[in-house]
Structure formats: structure tokens, C-alpha cells
């Protein structure tokens, strides 16, 4: 299972953000996440699915949200508890979340969907536990980085070989089919480009990461 790969790398995962490449990625993804969160101005609570060491769980907390992290890898959560003792997290499977319907205002995936065995089931669970909407940040299949992950030097990385990158149409279709009649509206943008400011966002899906926010109507069930 993909989560076991991350469990083995828990100690090195957070350290990567201190590298030059890690800082560049972090700046881009923070800007992207802030833009997506603006689509839910009334949100007070959030679930981060695949929270890992809590890097973005803590950021969601800093944005004023009451946040809970969910991850399948025990070693990742051990690191989270050490680095972010004020952040709540639960050991659990994204395919069968241990939360009641509508437990959170929003659910957030940040480069998690690509590594799940059944992303449609995980998205369906996210819709189930969310009252207002979901946020999904994925690796872009048709970016420079996406091409490198499949055919370039990054293809030799153990974790990246496990990733199932998405194009924008593929992501939009998956979210639309999963949310079904509850889907109200979507917004998207892309970030992380080979050149230019790290915080640049672009409405053309050529950045290395794509972010999509989907607002939901109340379930009729």
C-alpha cells in the first residue's frame, strides 16, 4: 500500500520543506491553498485527509479553522504530534472515515488523492463528512513536473512512481461524478511553475499543481 512508503519516510518528510526545492513548493502551495479557502469564507472547521506530518494541517489551524488531520501512516502521526502538539489528528483510512455525516464544514486533500487506491471512494467519504465543500490539490499530469515524474529523472523516485497524476478535466470529472447532485459550484487554478514568482497563480492548467474547490448543497438523504 502507498501509505507504507510514507510511513518509512516520516522522519525525512518534514525536513524536505527546509530544502530550496521544498521552500519553493511550499510557498506555491500555501498561496494556492489560501486562494481555495477564500471560496468558503464561513467555514469554521476542516478535515485534512492524508495529513502526514501535519505541515498543512497546522497551516489550516493558522487560518483560524478548527482542524482535524486524518492519516493511515502511524509514523507520520507520531511526527505530527511532536511538531504540532496543538493540532488534533486521527489514525484512519480515507476510504472509510471514522466521522459522522456533516462533521466538518470542509474537507481538504493536498497531494493525497494521487496515492489512494480508490480515490472515488475517498472523495465520496469527503463529501459525506462535509457540510459546505471540498478542496483538492493534485499533481498536474500535463505540467513540466508531471512529464518528469513519468519519463524524466523524477520517475526514479519511489514515492512518485506510486502517484496517479491528474489533468484538470480528469479531476473535474471525478469530483463531479462523486459529488453528483450535491455539487453546486467549482473553482480552480494552478500554481508552481518552472519560472516566475513562487506565489504566482494561473487560470491555465500548466502549473505543477492544480487546486479545485467545490461547494456542496445539503444532502437529500
DSSP conformation letters of 39-101: T-TT--EEEEET-TTSHHHHHHHHTT-EEEEEES-HHHHHHHHHH-TTSEEEE-BTTB-SS-T
Asked, for residue 149, whether it belongs to a domain, the answer is yes
Bigger pLDDT: 160 or 109? 109
pLDDT tens digits along 33-76: 999 999 999 999 999 999 999 999 999 999 999 999 999 999 99
Q: What is the pLDDT of residue 53?
A: 93
76, part of any domain? yes
The pLDDT value given to residue 84 = 94
pLDDT of residue 8: 62
Residue 85 falls inside a structural domain:
yes
Contact 5, 159 (CB under 8 A): yes
pLDDT(156) > 60: no
Q: Give the Cβ contact number of residue 28 at 10 Å.
A: 22
Query: Which of the residue ranges 16-20, 105-109, 161-165 would you say has the lowest mean pLDDT?
Result: 161-165
Predicted TM-score (pTM) of the model is 0.91
Mean pLDDT of 167-192: 97
**Does residue 25 surpass a pLDDT of 70?**
yes
pLDDT band at 214 (very low <50, low <70, confident <90, very high): very high
Which residues fall within 8 angstroms of residue 22, CB to CB, at 6 or more apart? 16
**11 assigned to some structural domain:** yes
Q: Between the CA atoms of 161, 19, 112 and 169, what dihedral angle is there, to the nearest 10 degrees?
A: -80
Q: Tell me the residue range of the domain where 65 lies.
A: 2-216
Query: Is 66 a domain residue?
Result: yes
Dihedral angle, C-alpha 78, 130, 65, 76, nearest 10 ° = 10
Please indicate, yes or no, if residue 221 is contained in any of the structural domains: no
Share of the chain above pLDDT 90, in %: 76
Among candidates 146, 123, 162, which has minimal Cα distance to 8?
162
Q: How many domains does the chain have?
A: 1
Asked if residue 16 belongs to a domain, the reply is yes
* pLDDT bracket for residue 14 (50, 70, 90): confident
Label residue 221 by pLDDT band (50, 70, 90): low
Read off the CATH number of the domain in which 197 is found. 3.40.50.150
Instruction: Please indicate, yes or no, if residue 159 is contained in any of the structural domains.
Output: yes
pLDDT for the residue 142: 87
Amino acid at each position: 500500500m502507498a501509505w507504507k512508503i510514507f510511513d518509512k519516510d516520516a522522519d525525512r518528510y518534514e525536513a524536505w520543506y527546509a530544502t530550496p526545492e521544498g521552500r519553493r513548493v511550499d510557498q506555491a502551495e500555501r498561496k494556492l491553498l489560501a486562494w481555495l479557502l477564500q471560496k468558503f469564507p464561513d467555514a469554521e472547521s476542516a478535515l485534512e485527509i492524508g495529513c502526514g506530518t501535519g505541515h498543512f494541517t497546522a497551516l489550516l489551524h493558522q487560518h483560524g479553522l478548527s482542524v482535524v488531520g486524518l492519516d493511515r501512516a502511524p509514523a507520520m502521526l507520531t511526527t505530527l504530534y511532536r511538531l504540532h502538539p496543538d493540532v488534533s489528528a486521527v489514525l484512519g483510512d480515507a476510504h472509510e472515515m471514522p466521522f459522522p455525516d456533516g462533521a466538518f464544514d470542509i474537507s481538504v486533500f493536498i497531494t493525497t488523492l494521487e496515492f489512494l487506491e480508490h480515490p472515488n471512494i475517498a472523495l465520496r467519504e469527503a463529501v459525506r463528512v462535509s457540510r459546505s465543500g471540498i478542496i483538492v490539490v493534485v499533481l498536474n499530469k500535463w505540467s513540466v513536473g508531471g512529464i518528469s515524474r513519468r519519463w524524466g529523472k523524477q520517475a526514479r523516485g519511489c514515492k512518485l512512481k506510486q502517484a496517479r497524476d491528474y489533468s484538470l478535466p480528469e479531476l473535474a470529472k471525478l469530483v463531479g461524478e462523486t459529488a453528483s447532485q450535491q455539487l453546486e459550484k467549482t473553482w480552480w487554478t494552478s500554481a508552481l511553475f518552472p519560472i516566475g514568482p513562487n506565489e504566482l497563480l494561473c487560470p491555465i492548467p500548466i502549473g505543477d499543481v492544480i487546486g479545485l474547490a467545490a461547494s456542496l448543497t445539503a444532502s437529500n438523504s
